[in-house]
């Protein structure tokens, strides 16, 4: 049975004027799926406390058609799909509307994962990973392999985790947003510089994050952000891959993709898409 959920984007997600960033659009979709589960007898709290099962979002693929704004009342339709992997993975299609305008659609996958004892062995970390934003370079431990990429090594903090141990899906969304910020700053086109100098802001029509293996609190996480394609000076796509060191190897724990363009801020309410200029294209290509 389908559900319709009314909600508003979190105030935290309004970083430029009153527009809501992609991460908080995906948070809103996640919350709609959680509410659907509650309405159908699958309260995440009860599942964990009573049954020892954690609700784990393992895949979300969102397409954003138009900007959400602060204070928008968003109606999200959640439609269950046939389960996958012999019923192990619950699948949902969502569509989010403001009035009659469809703002975003998504496909979301959820698993119920047995709770384990708090903590996990095999943590590998260094003192450098505990300071500030960790270590960033064009390559660390050969992960970028000469690609148009950066590698960010950082320690997973507890506030990106849930169920006392695991990096959660929303934590990966935060990492995706942050590695973009780091990447743009290192290429000389930081978000603040572009906003102050040209009134340009990044816009995201599509983002996806998929969890492959668990990553645990305080493990060292390597995030690789790789620019793959630039389309007609209007959009670029980048791949997002995360690894943790275990048993003298690097295990990939998550992957994803994000598509970015740029918009020029017209006034406090409106913006318009703009093509990349030569400096921006050169920075994205590492030229």
Average pLDDT, stretch 223-242? 96
Q: Looking at the structure, do residues 166 and 104 belong to the same domain, yes or no?
A: no
Say what angle helices 169-186 and 22-39 make with each other, to 10 degrees.
180
Question: Are residues 286 and 158 part of one domain?
Answer: yes
Considering 115, 143, 166, which residue would you say is the last residue of a domain? 115
What's the mean pLDDT in 193-218?
Answer: 96
* pLDDT over 90 at 122, yes or no: no
Q: Across residues 18-37, what is the average pLDDT?
A: 98
Same domain, 172 and 274: yes
From the list 191, 189, 188, 167, the residue with the least C-alpha distance to 178 is 191
Question: Distance between terminal CA atoms of the chain?
Answer: 52
Q: What is the CATH number of the domain that holds 76?
A: 3.10.129.10
Predicted local distance difference test score (pLDDT) of residue 126: 52
User: Per-residue confidence at 146, pLDDT binned at 50, 70, 90?
Assistant: confident
Examine the fold and report which residue of 83, 115, 147 is the final residue of a domain before the chain moves on. Answer: 115
What percent of the residues of the chain are helix, what percent strand, and what percent coil, each to the nearest 5? 25, 45, 30
Residues 93, 146 share a domain: no
130 plus 79 within the same structural domain: no
Tokens 């009659």 map to which residue? 100
Alpha carbon separation from 150 to 57, 181, 245, 252 (Å, rounded): 26, 12, 18, 16
| Domain co-membership, 156 together with 252 | yes
Task: Name residues whose C-beta falls within 8 Å of residue 277's C-beta, 6 or more positions apart in sequence.
Answer: none
Query: What is the domain extent for residue 20?
Result: 1-115
Tally: H helices and E strands in the chain: 5, 16
Q: How far apart are CA 65 and CA 76, in angstroms?
A: 14
More confident residue, 96 or 115: 96
Residues 109, 157, single domain; the answer is no
Number of domains, the chain: 2
127 and 245 fall within a common domain: yes
Of 91, 115, 139, the one marking the end of a domain is 115
More confident residue, 79 or 130: 79
Lowest-confidence region among 140-149, 176-185, 237-246: 140-149
Q: What is the band of 141 on the pLDDT scale with cuts at 50, 70, 90?
A: confident
Give yes or no: residues 218 and 284 share one domain. Answer: yes
Q: Based on the domain organization, do 95 and 131 belong to the same domain?
A: no
The whole-angstrom separation of Cα 161 and Cα 54 is: 12
- pLDDT for the residue numbered 11: 96
Which residues are CB-neighbours of 49 under 8 A, at least 6 positions away? none
- What is the pLDDT, as a whole number, of residue 128? 46
Tokens of 260: 């970015």
Poorest-pLDDT segment among 21-35, 113-127, 145-159, 171-185: 113-127
Instruction: Using alpha carbons, select from 80, 122, 77, 105 the residue that is nearest to residue 220.
Output: 122
Model confidence, pTM: 0.94
Query: Does 218 lie in the same domain as 279?
Result: yes
Residues 159 and 287 placed together within one structural domain of the fold = yes
Distance CA(256)–CA(172), nearest Å, equals 9
Percent of the chain surpassing pLDDT 90: 86
Mean pLDDT of the chain: 93
pLDDT of residue 247: 87
């Amino acid at each position: 049975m389908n559900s319709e959920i009314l909600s508003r984007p979190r105030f935290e997600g309004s970083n430029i004027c009153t527009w809501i960033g992609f991460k908080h659009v995906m948070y809103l979709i996640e919350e709609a799926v959680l509410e659907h589960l509650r309405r159908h007898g699958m309260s995440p709290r009860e599942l964990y406390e009573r049954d020892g099962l954690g609700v784990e979002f393992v895949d979300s693929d969102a397409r954003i058609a138009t900007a959400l704004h602060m204070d928008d009342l968003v109606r999200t339709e959640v439609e269950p799909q046939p389960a996958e992997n012999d019923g192990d993975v619950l699948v949902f299609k969502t569509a989010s509307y403001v009035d009659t305008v469809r703002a975003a659609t998504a496909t979301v996958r959820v698993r119920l994962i047995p709770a384990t004892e708090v903590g996990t062995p095999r943590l590998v970390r260094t003192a450098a990973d505990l300071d500030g934003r960790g270590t960033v370079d064009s390559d660390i431990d050969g992960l970028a392999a000469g690609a148009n990429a950066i590698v960010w090594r950082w320690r997973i903090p507890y506030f990106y985790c849930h169920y006392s141990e695991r990096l959660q899906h929303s934590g990966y969304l935060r990492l995706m947003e942050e590695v973009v910020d780091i990447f743009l700053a290192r290429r000389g086109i930081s978000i603040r510089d572009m906003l102050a100098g040209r009134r340009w802001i990044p816009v995201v029509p599509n983002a996806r994050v998929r969890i492959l293996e668990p990553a645990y609190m305080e493990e060292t996480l390597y995030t690789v952000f790789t620019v793959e394609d630039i389309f007609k000076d209007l959009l670029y796509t980048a791949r997002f891959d995360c690894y943790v060191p275990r048993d003298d190897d690097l295990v990939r724990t998550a992957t994803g993709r994000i598509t970015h363009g740029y918009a020029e801020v017209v006034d406090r309410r409106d913006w318009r898409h703009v093509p990349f200029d030569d400096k921006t294209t050169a920075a994205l290509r590492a030229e």
